Chain A
Amino acid sequence: MSKIGPKNTTFKSRDEASMTEFVVRAKASYRKASGSLSWEEKVASIERMREASKTIRRARA
């Protein structure tokens, strides 16, 4: 499985436009990579999301 995420993760500046552009690129990159995932891989990623959500909820409690 290829690494999901934009290749260029450095910012020239932290202005809003640059951050927005980063988010758009990150989303496009994720979509492109996730489109090639099998169903099993997508379900595995949902399991990881669930675990991350549980960790966050525990930390907040």
Chain B
Amino acid sequence: MKEALVALNKACESGVIDGYAIGGAIGASFYIEAVNTEDVDAFVFLTPPAESALITLTPLYDELIRLGGVVENEYIRFGSWPVQILPAYKPLVEEAIFNAVEVLFGDIKTKVFTAEYLCAIALDTGRIKDYYRVAMFIEQSAVNLDELEVLVDRFELQERVRHVQNWPEKHNIQKPR
């Protein structure tokens, strides 16, 4: 995975992307016990070219290929790790990248979503495995529930927390009428 992080860091340095952070199961494994996954989710800030308002992944893919990545379907593979590039597509994800924390993967600097944003994005994505991930964060006391509650409230995820089996009673949020 180091190769992928080095390439993403270089893409940041060269200005192809404005920032990135690791999310998904790999991001979650920074905080909780490891769960099997097939890929690395890299959420990126992309700047549209000056002449266009459209955001395109082509310059980033070109740069990552130049740095040793191999395109495979919707992934770009570095070593044994397929990386899925996910543009910041909504305010919750933009905020998550903006508030990501700098960490080390071995000796490589990278950024990972905070536990609270990882859980909020998991709730927003809303698949069974995403609710299970939130439950694991709660079970392993790896998330600040007060901070997560603020995100749940702001991004209107109140309905979603009902699917998290161990969501604490006192954090049951009523949707404002």
Interface of A toward B, CB cutoff 8 Å:
30-31, 34-35, 37, 39-40, 42-43, 45-47, 49-50, 53
Do B34 and A43 touch across chains, with their CB atoms under 8 A apart?
yes
A59, chain B: closest CB distance, angstroms: 17
The answer on a CB contact under 8 Å between B33 and A46 is: no
Besides A46-B35, A49-B34, 20 more A-B contacts (Cβ < 8 Å) are A34-B33, A34-B34, A35-B33, A35-B140, A37-B34, A39-B105, A40-B105, A40-B106, A42-B30, A42-B34, A43-B105, A45-B34, A46-B25, A46-B26, A46-B29, A46-B34, A46-B36, A50-B37, A50-B38, A50-B80
- Chain B CB within 10 Å — which of A34, A46, A47, A49 has the most? A46
Does more than half of chain A's interface fall in helix, strand or loop, or is it mixed? Answer: helix
By DSSP majority rule, is chain B's interface helix, strand, loop, or mixed? Answer: loop
- 10 A-B pairs with the lowest CB-CB distances in the bound complex, closest first: A42-B34, A49-B36, A42-B29, A34-B33, A40-B106, A39-B30, A45-B34, A46-B34, A43-B1, A40-B105
B6 is an interface residue with CB less than 8 A from chain A: no
- Within 8 Å CB of B103, what residues of A? 39
Task: Let me know if A42 and B33 touch, CB within 8 A.
Answer: yes
Query: Is B36 touching A53 in the complex (CB atoms < 8 A)?
Result: yes
Residues of A within 8 A of B105 (CB): 39-40, 43
Please report the C-alpha to C-alpha distance between residue A45 and residue B1 in the assembled complex, in whole angstroms.
12
How distant is the Cα of A50 from the Cα of B33 in the complex, in angstroms?
15
Instruction: List B residues 69-119 near A (Cβ within 8 Å).
Output: 80-81, 103-106
CB distance B38 to A43 under 8 Å? no
Q: Which residues of B contact A47 (CB under 8 A)?
A: 80-81
Contacts of A34 in B (CB 8 A): 33-34
A-B contact pairs, 5 of them (CB 8 A): A34-B33, A35-B140, A39-B29, A46-B35, A49-B36
